[in-house]
């Protein structure tokens, strides 16, 4: 398929963060773009406002006829998250369309670009956004496909006339193996997606394959301690080829020194909190230096980086209450997030609302979740968000709750949670999870601000 020949694009599962980025890309390229998703969301409403038609009924009759002709000008993209029995999906197949996964299309778009691909079981979205912001803020520019909404740019896709493309490389379903980058970053490789990989060894093998697809003159930038060959190892916890030193909190903000090749850049302020984000910033700085961006421009961009929506996002920050929302849904992500919160607010009582994501992940990492959630002072645990899965017998919120060593812990519904926050009015509140827990953010914000 030649991307430049495409005139019509239909996306099945258009409301996903990665799919919506492709929708915006093809709209920007002048294509007629439409799509289906099961549920209307703020993101799909934004797409409609941008001129992209979205339908929410699994009814092929409501699909614009312009998308139905199977030829070289029409592209049908789907996400593996949609069920195989979906009527619209099957009707396109009946008409003879070749269906492409999001990852395949991303691979096609990046073929003629200088591609910077960021992979990792966690940390990849923020690192991708950091690299994108440094390139944009410094005036170099880039096109970018992000796995979240950049707070600096209020979008998940950026465009540039140059040949540099920054992409988030997703390990789910081995999607990142469609990419052949010039610079590859690996931020982490903790066991995850075991429903796809089976075990950690198979996950690691996929990361090795990803790194093996690097162009012959490319660079591999890998977090220290991971079992992969690299041109540059980086860290925020130990000495490496590039590392953060003297990590500290001053007046509620994180600072660090950047050390590489015997040279030290002191007292860099990062616009988002957490040692894990400083580690992401070290990786982004290495990438920027490989592109010969002056260190002064890099540090300026790091200080103005505002983060990604739902990654340590302040919802309320007053004298009476602090409320932070985060996407963390793996035990290691939760530990990093809670540690950052504790560093910033060591004297405050930490109340967490957590929604587990996937029955299989909850089962596979129950001990890790219990350890991480035991770091808080009070816990409201929501039922498991199933996403693409059917329930697993014996795996539910109560099972997980019983493993957590904590006195103040409860299984709670959204209504229970709202009532709890209204009555208790926590001084330090966090919501964490990757399901539909984000639907609580606005109501909880209103309760904390107005009662």
Among the candidates 75, 101, 127, a domain finishes at 101
SS3 275: helix
Together in a domain, 282 and 226 = yes
Task: Give per-residue pLDDT as tens, 324-334.
Answer: 999 999 999 99
Verify that 48 and 165 share a domain, yes or no.
no
- For the chain, helix, strand, coil in percent to 5 are 40, 25, 35
Domain boundary among 48, 67, 101: 101
List Cβ neighbours of 346 (8 Å cut-off, separation of 6 or more). Answer: none
SS3 of 29, please?
Answer: coil
Res 300: pLDDT? 98
Supply the pTM of this predicted model: 0.87
- What CATH number is attached to the domain comprising 25? 3.40.50.720
Query: What is the CATH classification number for the domain harbouring 393?
Result: 3.90.190.20
Residue 79 maps to a domain: yes
Do 218 and 189 lie in one domain? The reply is yes
Q: What pLDDT, on the 0 to 100 scale, is given for residue 382?
A: 98
Does some domain include residue 145? yes
Contact 344, 273 (CB under 8 A): yes
Between strands 183-186 and 114-119, the pairing is parallel
Sign of CA dihedral 444, 446, 448, 451: negative
Please report how many Cα atoms fall inside a 13 Å half-sphere around the Cα of residue 10, on the Cβ side.
23
Residue 150 is part of which domain span?
113-304
Q: Cα–Cα distance between 16 and 11 in angstroms, integer? A: 10
> Does residue 107 fall inside a structural domain?
no
The pLDDT value recorded for residue 191 is 65
Does any domain span residue 95? yes
The verdict on residue 106 lying in a domain is no
Q: Are 19 and 103 in contact (CB under 8 A)?
A: no
Mapping DSSP to helix (H, G, I), strand (E, B) and coil, where does residue 230 land? coil
Domain count, the chain: 3
Domain of 151, CATH number, reads 3.40.1190.10
Q: Where does a domain end: 304, 337, 365?
A: 304
Question: What per-residue confidence (pLDDT) applies to 90?
Answer: 95
44 and 76 assigned to the same domain: yes
**Residue 108 included in any domain:** no
Do 84 and 210 share a structural domain? no
Does residue 91 sit in the same domain as residue 122?
A: no
Contact 169, 118 (CB under 8 A): yes
Residues 69 and 176 in one domain: no
Is residue 42 one of the residues assigned to a domain? yes
Q: Are residues 386 and 277 in the same domain?
A: no
Positions of the chain with pLDDT under 70: 191-198
Judge if 91 and 130 occupy the same domain: no
Do residue 51 and residue 129 come from a single domain?
no
Same domain, 410 and 263: no
Q: Is residue 423 part of a domain?
A: yes
146 and 295 co-located in one domain: yes
Q: Residue 195 has what pLDDT?
A: 62
3-state class (DSSP) for residue 181: coil
């Amino acid at each position: 398929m030649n991307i430049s020949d495409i005139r019509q694009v239909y996306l099945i599962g258009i409301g996903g963060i990665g799919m919506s980025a492709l929708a915006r890309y093809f709209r920007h390229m002048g294509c007629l773009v439409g799509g289906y998703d099961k549920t209307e969301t703020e993101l799909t409403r934004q797409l409609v406002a941008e001129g992209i038609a979205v339908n929410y009924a699994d009814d092929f009759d409501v699909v614009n006829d312009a998308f139905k002709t199977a030829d070289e000008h029409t592209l049908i993209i789907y996400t593996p998250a949609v069920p195989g029995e979906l009527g619209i999906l099957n009707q396109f197949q009946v008409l003879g369309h070749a269906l492409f996964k999001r990852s395949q299309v991303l691979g096609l778009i990046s073929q003629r670009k200088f591609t910077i691909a960021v992979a990792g079981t966690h940390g990849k979205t923020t690192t991708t956004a950091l690299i994108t912001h440094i390139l944009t803020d410094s005036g170099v520019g880039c096109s970018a496909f992000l796995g979240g909404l950049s707070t600096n740019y209020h979008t998940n896709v950026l465009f540039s006339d140059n040949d540099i493309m920054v992409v988030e490389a997703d390990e789910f379903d081995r999607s990142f193996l469609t990419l052949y980058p010039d610079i590859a970053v690996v931020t982490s490789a903790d066991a995850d997606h075991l429903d796809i990989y089976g075990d950690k060894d198979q996950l690691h093998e996929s990361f090795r394959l990803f790194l093996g697809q690097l162009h012959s003159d490319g660079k591999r930038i890998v977090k220290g301690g991971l079992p992969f060959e690299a041109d540059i190892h980086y860290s925020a916890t130990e000495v490496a080829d590039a590392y953060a030193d003297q990590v500290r909190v001053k007046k509620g903000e994180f600072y660090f020194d950047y050390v590489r090749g015997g040279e030290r850049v002191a007292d860099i302020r990062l616009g988002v909190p957490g040692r894990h984000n400083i580690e992401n910033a070290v990786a982004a700085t290495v990438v920027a230096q490989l592109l010969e961006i002056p260190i002064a421009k890099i540090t300026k961009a790091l200080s103005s980086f505002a983060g990604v929506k739902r990654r340590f996002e302040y919802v309320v920050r007053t004298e009476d209450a602090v409320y932070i929302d985060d996407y963390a849904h793996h035990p290691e992500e939760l530990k990093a997030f809670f540690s950052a919160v504790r560093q910033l607010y060591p004297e405050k009582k930490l109340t967490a609302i957590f929604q587990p994501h996937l029955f299989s992940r909850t089962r596979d990492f129950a001990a890790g979740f219990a350890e991480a959630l035991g770091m808080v002072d009070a816990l409201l645990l929501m039922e498991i968000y199933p996403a693409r899965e059917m329930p697993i017998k014996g795996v539910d919120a109560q099972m997980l709750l019983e493993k957590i060593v904590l006195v103040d812990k409860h299984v709670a519904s959204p209504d229970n949670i709202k009532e709890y926050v209204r009555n208790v009015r926590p001084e330090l509140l966090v919501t964490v999870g990757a399901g539909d827990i984000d639907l609580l953010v606005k109501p909880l914000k209103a309760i904390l601000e107005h009662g």
